[in-house]
Amino acid sequence: MLDWAFDKGHRARVIENGEMLQPLRMRGHGVHGHMDYDERYAPFFKKARLLGFVLQFKRQPPMLVHAALTALIDRWRPETYYFHLPCGEMTMTLEDWAMITAMPIEGHALTGRVERTNWQQRVATLIGDCPAVKGNRTSGVLLIWLSEHRQKCPEGADETTVEWYARAYLWYILTEVVFPDSSGNSANWSYLFFLADWDAGYSWGTASLAYLYCSFDDATQRMGDKSNMGGFVWAFSIWMWERLPVGRPEKIPRCPWGAYSEDSDETRHPTVAYEWDIVKLYTGLNKTSYKTYTNELDALTHTQCIVPMICVYAVEWHLPHRVPTQFWVYQHTPPGQPTDTGGHALHL
């Protein structure tokens, strides 16, 4: 391994020494249905370049395969931000992230001075209300409070009220699914303040991917039986299904998208995630599945990460690993192609 500080507490080191850990529990997924989407919110979300992202969550996302995701996280290297696999290294790129989440990857960074003073008054200014602080809670508002007080925008509401509800809806999804806190039950007020100006042009895609990378780093050091991991794990799951054959469920015919606009607005088009709209997961004991997925990743070969290009009778392999110089990457000697998947036999 590369860095002693990470290495000494890494899950992979413990597994290498013969100890079988429990799978991590993925946090921040599945309860967004407590907030009702309203088409009156769309103009605000479009200004923030987050309409495409929001429309993914009008639907019920597929369930997570915790054991498969954990087996891959065990191979995360915090020093390089890559998953270390027998056939090479892989990671989520910003292009991957944009195509899955529809979040913008260009714009201003989510950064600045976070002022705790009068945060409740500022929350009330942005969403029209704020609950009283209970105990020592100073980081945000309970998600259950948001779902009870900002679930459905009243009919005939004026523009200011609609904007309050739109902001609360987006805040709920961002903090419950993309940026969940350690408790998983609170909406951090710092993310709400980035929604004060719809035209600010923030790069939500880079922020969410950075947060997930940080969550990976932390997860590699967690070994308790009830350990969990936050971040945008739903999008991470879609990426794994797209890129790797391990833990990939069976696709079932999709439901109609139904979110297109009459003027062919591209911000309303489905993302790569729509390909996995409905899936059939393979059920089983989490601990048993975890061991199975670990073994499958250990045995992964480069031939399982390439695909054939098909045009009726024409079948040709896509082999980018043979031309890395074309992409300004050092050219290694490519591994040999198995006889049963290439050459003259394939054409026949």
Give the tens place of pLDDT for each residue, 179-231. Answer: 987 666 888 888 999 999 999 999 999 999 999 999 999 999 999 888 989 89
Please give the pLDDT value at position 264.
Answer: 78
Please give the pLDDT value at position 96.
Answer: 95
The SS3 of residue 10 is: coil
- The Cα 214–Cα 212 span in angstroms is 5
End-to-end CA distance of the chain: 45
Lowest pLDDT segment from 20-24, 83-87, 254-258 = 254-258
The DSSP annotation for 227-261 comes to -EE-SSHHHHHHHHHHH-STTPPEE-PPPP-----
Tokens 């696709």 found at: 251
Tokens 């997860």 found at: 219
The SS3 of residue 85 is: strand
Q: What pTM value is reported for the model?
A: 0.88
Give me the mean pLDDT over the 145-151 stretch. Answer: 92
What integer best gives the mean pLDDT of the chain?
87
- The Cα 4–Cα 301 span in angstroms is 28
The SS3 of residue 332 is: coil
Q: Which one is predicted more confidently, 260 or 201? A: 201
Collect contacts of 59-62 with beta carbons under 8 A, ≥24 apart: 59/255, 59/277, 60/33, 61/29, 61/30, 61/234, 61/273, 62/237, 62/249, 62/276, 62/277, 62/278, 62/279, 62/281
Please give the pLDDT value at position 297.
Answer: 94
Please give the pLDDT value at position 339.
Answer: 42
Among 208, 211, 192, residue whose Cα is nearest residue 200 = 192
User: Do the Cβ atoms of 178 and 211 come closer than 8 Å?
Assistant: yes
Angle of CA points 201, 107, 50, to nearest 5°: 50
Please give the pLDDT value at position 137.
Answer: 60
Identify the band that residue 338 occupies on the pLDDT scale cut at 50, 70 and 90: very low
72 pLDDT more than 80: yes
- The Cα 218–Cα 340 span in angstroms is 42
Torsion of CA 274, 103, 115, 161, to 10 degrees: -70
Q: Pinpoint the alpha helices (H) of 189-347.
A: 189-193, 204-219, 233-243, 286-298, 343-347
**CA 346: distance to chain centroid?**
37
Among 60, 6, 63, residue whose Cα is nearest residue 221 = 6
Kindly list the distances between the CA atom of residue 2 and the CA atoms of 5, 270, 307, in Å, as whole numbers in the listed order.
9, 40, 32
34-67: pLDDT as tens digits: 789 999 999 999 999 999 999 987 777 778 899 9
